[in-house]
Structure formats: C-alpha cells, structure tokens
C-alpha cells in the first residue's frame, strides 16, 4: 500500500506516473517522497525525466508536452487503408503514398520514435529529395523519394 502524497500548491499530478511524482510550474519533476527534484536528461531531441508508473515500469516524461492535446501517432492500418499508401517492394518496412509521403510502417525497437509508425523526414541532396531507409542489416541508405514514388505508383502518382 502506497502512502497518500499531498501535491503542493502550484504543482500538478503527472499522467501515467506514480503518485509520488509531481510537476512544478517551471517544468521540474519532484519526488514527493524524498522532497527532491529529479534529474533531467537531454537525448539530442528533447529534455526528459525518467519516471515510474504505478506498476513500477519506467517511462520517459517530457514536461513540455503535458498541455499538448493527446498525441495520436499514425497506425499501419491508417497509412495503408485511409491514406492508401503502398508498401515499397524493395523496402517492406516502408510505404509510399501517391503524393510522395514515405512512412515507416514497421515500428523501430529503439530510438526516439520506437514503437511508432511515422512519416520519414525528407532531405535535399544535390537538389533532389531524399529519404533515409533502414536496411535489414541496420545500415541507412539514401533513396530518392521522387523516383521511389514514381516506381511504386507509376502513372497514378500525383507527385509532380
């Protein structure tokens, strides 16, 4: 049985987190049991704090997202059935829409987007649009996204 923790004035309860954690108005996470602030880490993308849920499982918490509307990531079903993207034969972990959006439809096991289906970021190299796809051996390969869309969709492509 866990003790009841009183959240101090100006602090907020953190969703998914154990009751012993609270968020101050300046974005610092406090442990109400020890009455000490928790250390924040920077992973190259965002600042986060490692917390535990009531069952004792760890998760990463970004205090800047607490007031954002509920984020709903893409699903494989949405990408393939609603957006009507087609799976790329050479890269079965990826799908491309008729307008050139390329999605990773097999979630990665690690990293900042682990467990999510997401749209791959496009880069420009020598004036051409490229995306990086991850191969079976784990290496990244740059692929021209316009040619990939044309190869998969042919005349049905609306990418100009």
What CATH class has 76-155? Answer: alpha beta
Residues of each domain in the chain carrying CATH 3.90.75.20: 76-155
- Cβ–Cβ under 8 Å, residues 115 and 126: no
- Predicted confidence band at 138 (pLDDT cuts at 50, 70, 90)? confident
- Cβ–Cβ under 8 Å, residues 141 and 135: yes
- Predicted confidence band at 68 (pLDDT cuts at 50, 70, 90)? low
In eight-state DSSP terms, residue 154 is G
- Predicted confidence band at 69 (pLDDT cuts at 50, 70, 90)? low
Report helix, strand or coil for 21. Answer: strand
pLDDT of residue 1: 40
**Helical H segments across 42-127, by residue range:** 76-77
User: What percent of the chain has pLDDT above 70?
Assistant: 94
> What is the b/e burial string over 12-43, where b = at least 16 CB atoms within 10 angstroms of the residue's CB?
eebeebbebbbbeeeeebbebeeeeeeebeee
Residue located via tokens 């990293």: 111
- Cβ–Cβ under 8 Å, residues 131 and 149: no
Residue 66 has pLDDT above 80, yes or no: no
The C-alpha angle with vertex 124 and arms to 107 and 127, in degrees rounded to 5, equals: 150
Q: Which residue has the higher pLDDT, 63 or 79?
A: 79
Tell whether the torsion through CA atoms of 74, 80, 84 and 88 is positive or negative.
positive
pLDDT of residue 121: 92
- Predicted confidence band at 116 (pLDDT cuts at 50, 70, 90)? confident
Is the pTM above the cut of 0.85? no
Mean pLDDT, to the nearest integer, of 68-77?
Answer: 76
Average pLDDT over all residues of the chain: 89
């Amino acid at each position: 049985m866990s003790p009841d923790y009183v959240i101090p004035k100006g602090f907020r309860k953190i969703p998914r987190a154990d009751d012993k954690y609270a968020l101050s108005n300046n974005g610092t996470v406090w442990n109400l049991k020890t009455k000490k602030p928790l250390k924040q880490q920077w992973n190259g993308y965002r600042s986060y704090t490692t917390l535990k849920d009531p069952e004792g499982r760890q998760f990463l918490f970004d205090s800047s997202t607490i007031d954002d509307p509920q984020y709903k990531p893409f699903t494989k079903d949405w990408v393939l059935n609603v957006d009507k993207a087609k799976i790329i034969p050479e890269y079965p972990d990826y799908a491309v829409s008729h307008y050139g959006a390329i999605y990773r439809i097999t979630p990665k096991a690690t990293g900042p987007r682990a467990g999510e289906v997401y749209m791959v970021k496009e880069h420009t190299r020598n004036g051409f649009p490229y995306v990086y796809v991850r191969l079976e051996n784990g290496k990244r390969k740059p692929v021209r996204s316009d040619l990939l869309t044309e190869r998969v969709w042919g005349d049905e492509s609306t990418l100009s």
